[in-house]
């Protein structure tokens, strides 16, 4: 396929070429992969500044998206690549091939650096979904940091750089510029830009930015960072956000409220308890969805309110394909049971073949888990309606999942995103938290936003 880049794509490619350290915060659907591969082609086969490139990506994106992009575009022909997935023997065989681009999933970064026995001789690294390196305690972060000094060029790609707040940025930029802009140590970063927020004695649970800290952080990273929003550069379809409220019965609500108050409740002769706030939050979210795990992962049903609402939404779609996001395994099982009962064809999107079938329009309902399919997958050809059966606290997974349908290439005039909300439950708090996190991230994106009218 012939590549005719938009102005913003040419600008982003040029930015990567001119900056050995580049943080490219591109909104979902703007074509991060082809932008980066175009720069890689120039560096490897035109200017000869790069010999070997390592692309680190989420598993499905490494397996499907990057190879598909390399095969898809005419101007990339001649750029050789090898995908290092599978068994250890298969990964080693792939990494010893003669190629310019090597693609590996992020879970195998530690293996590559510390266990494979292979030399880390890549002079360029691309991190697709830089946000997956936001934890400085993660093994993948520590492993990559060990070999970072040997890498001459690095690119970090993401549409969600600070999904949980500005604190995420330290680890991301530590691995990009080795601490040049935000410091080499997380403790110094905290004391410079933050103050303790929620705490219990000497134990600090969260931090909030000091006055002026946001602007100061943005100024520090601005020279190597660009951001762009899809709505600014593409004719995006209208995105309609809808909340579908369901109400628990008095009996169902009594169970929920008692557990929230007492941290313990008896269900079906079994006692459910919460030992801490995190467990309480998880179990309240389960209850809002309609069931909760007991001992030995036994599923204890509470209500079918969300299942009824989901059935109504599928019926109202009148044959148009519906993508359903679930969170807990018992949500999936209960949804599948209801769809079977109503003789509604469906598939879970967990393989390359199931994704291809969805995009071909072969079934009216598809079930997706945000954590396994939130990044990089192109699902827009299959439909334009998304239903959140159960919500997630993660802004990153929430936005990325929405962007599977609301993105470039969506043929429908509007994308409808439904949220099934159990009123008076933790669902409402999760929605509020997502909205607050989005405000913080939007401020960051705007602060380092590329103004093409000025630049070009």
CATH 3.40.50.10810 residue ranges in the chain?
7-233
pLDDT score recorded for residue 456: 41
pLDDT at 125 over 60: yes
Q: Please give the Cα distance from 40 to 47 (Å, whole number).
A: 10
Q: Number of helices and strands (H, E) in the chain? A: 20, 21
CB atoms within 10 A of CB 242: 12
3-state SS track over 74-105: HHHCCCCEEEECCCHHHHHHHHCCCCCEEEEE
Question: What dotted CATH number matches 238-434?
Answer: 3.40.50.300
Do you know the residue count of the chain? 456
Q: Coil, strand or helix: which one is 437? A: helix
Biggest CA–CA distance in the chain, Å, is 71
Nearest to 396 by CA among 71, 70, 78, 58: 58
Q: What is the sign, positive or negative, of the torsion defined by CA atoms of 13, 18, 21, 23? A: negative
Whole-number Å distance between alpha carbons of 265 and 259: 5
Q: Give dist(CA 374, CA 402) in Å, integer.
A: 8
Task: Residue 392: name the closest of 326, 330, 333, 309 by CA.
Answer: 326
> Model confidence at 420, in pLDDT bands (50, 70, 90)?
very high
Confidence of residue 455 (pLDDT cuts 50, 70, 90): very low
Local structure of 233: helix, strand or coil: helix
Of the listed ranges 43-47, 314-318, 356-360, 399-403, the one predicted with least confidence: 314-318
Q: Does the pLDDT at position 158 exceed 70? A: yes
Would the pLDDT of 201 be above 80?
Answer: no
Q: What is the pLDDT of residues 274-284, one digit of tens each?
A: 878 788 888 99
- At residue 384, φ and ψ (nearest 5 deg) are -135, 15
55: closest CA among 10, 5, 94, 11? 94
Q: What angle do CA 405, 452, 443 make, to 5 degrees?
A: 60
Across residues 423-445, what is the average pLDDT? Answer: 82
Query: What pTM did the predictor assign?
Result: 0.66
313: its two tokens: 């939404």
Question: What is the pLDDT at residue 148?
Answer: 97
The predicted-structure confidence for 170-187, as pLDDT tens digits, reads as follows 999 999 999 999 999 999
* Residues 23-78: tens digit of each pLDDT: 998 876 678 899 999 999 999 999 999 999 999 998 878 888 899 899 989 999 99
**284-339 pLDDT per residue, tens:** 999 999 999 988 888 999 999 999 999 988 887 877 899 999 999 999 999 999 99
398 and 373 in contact (C-beta within 8 Å)? no
CA-based torsion, 285, 287, 291, 292: positive or negative: positive
pLDDT the model gives residue 448: 61
The CB density around residue 425, as the number of other CB atoms within 10 Å, is: 20
pLDDT above 90: percentage of residues in the chain: 54
Strands (E), 327-374: 346-348, 365-368
Q: Is the pLDDT of residue 231 over 70?
A: no
CA distance 212 to 441: 16
The residue with greater pLDDT, 306 or 451, is 306
**Mean of per-residue pLDDT scores for the chain:** 88
pLDDT higher than threshold 70 for residue 451: no
Intervals of CATH 3.40.50.300 along the chain: 238-434
Q: What are phi and psi of 328, to 5 degrees?
A: -95, 150
Which secondary structure element, helix H or strand E, spans residue 239, and what is its range? strand 238-246
Classify domain 7-233 at the CATH superfamily level.
Tandem AAA-ATPase domain (3.40.50.10810)
């Amino acid at each position: 396929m012939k590549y005719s880049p938009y102005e913003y794509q040419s600008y982003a490619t040029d930015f990567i070429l001119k900056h050995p350290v580049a943080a490219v915060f591109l909104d979902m659907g703007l074509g991060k992969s082809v932008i980066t591969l175009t720069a890689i082609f120039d560096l490897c086969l035109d200017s000869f500044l790069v010999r070997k490139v390592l692309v680190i990506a989420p598993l499905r994106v490494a397996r499907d998206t990057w190879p598909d992009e390399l095969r898809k575009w005419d101007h990339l022909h001649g750029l050789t690549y090898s995908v290092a997935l599978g068994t250890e023997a298969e990964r080693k065989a792939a990494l010893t091939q003669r190629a310019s681009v090597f693609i590996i999933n992020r879970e195998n970064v530690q293996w590559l650096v510390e266990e494979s026995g292979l030399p880390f001789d890549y002079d360029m690294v691309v991190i697709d979904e830089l946000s997956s390196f936001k934890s400085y305690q993660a093994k993948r972060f520590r492993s990559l940091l060990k070999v970072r000094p040997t890498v001459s060029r690095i690119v970090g790609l993401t549409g969600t750089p600070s999904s949980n707040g500005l604190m995420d940025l330290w680890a991301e930029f530590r691995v990009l510029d080795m601490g040049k802009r935000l410091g080499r140590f997380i403790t110094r970063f905290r004391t410079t830009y933050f103050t303790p927020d929620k705490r219990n004695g000497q134990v600090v649970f969260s931090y909030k930015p000091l006055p002026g800290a946001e602007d100061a952080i943005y100024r520090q990273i601005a020279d190597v960072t660009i951001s762009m929003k899809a709505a600014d550069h593409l004719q995006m379809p209208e995105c309609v956000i809808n909340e579908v409220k369901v109400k628990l019965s008095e009996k169902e609500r009594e169970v929920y409220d008692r557990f929230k108050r007492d941290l313990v409740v008896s269900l079906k002769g079994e006692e459910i308890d919460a030992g801490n706030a995190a467990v309480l939050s998880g179990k309240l979210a389960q209850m809002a969805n309609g069931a909760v795990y007991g001992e030995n992962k036994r599923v204890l049903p509470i209500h079918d309110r969300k299942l009824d609402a989901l059935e109504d939404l599928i019926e109202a779609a009148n044959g148009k394909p519906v993508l359903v996001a679930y969170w807990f395994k018992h949500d999936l099982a209960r949804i599948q049971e209801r769809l079977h009962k109503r003789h509604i064809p469906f598939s879970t999107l967990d393989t390359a073949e199931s994704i291809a079938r969805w995009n071909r329009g072969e079934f009216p309902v598809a079930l997706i888990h945000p954590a396994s399919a939130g990044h990089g997958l192109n699902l827009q050809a299959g439909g334009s309606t998304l239903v959140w059966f159960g919500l997630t606290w993660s802004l990153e997974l929430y936005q990325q999942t929405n962007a599977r349908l609301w993105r470039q290439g969506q043929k429908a005039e509007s994308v409808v995103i439904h949220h099934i909300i159990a009123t008076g439950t933790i669902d409402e708090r999760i929605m509020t938290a997502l909205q607050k996190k989005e405000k913080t991230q939007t401020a960051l994106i705007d602060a380092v936003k590329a103004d093409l009218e000025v630049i070009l």
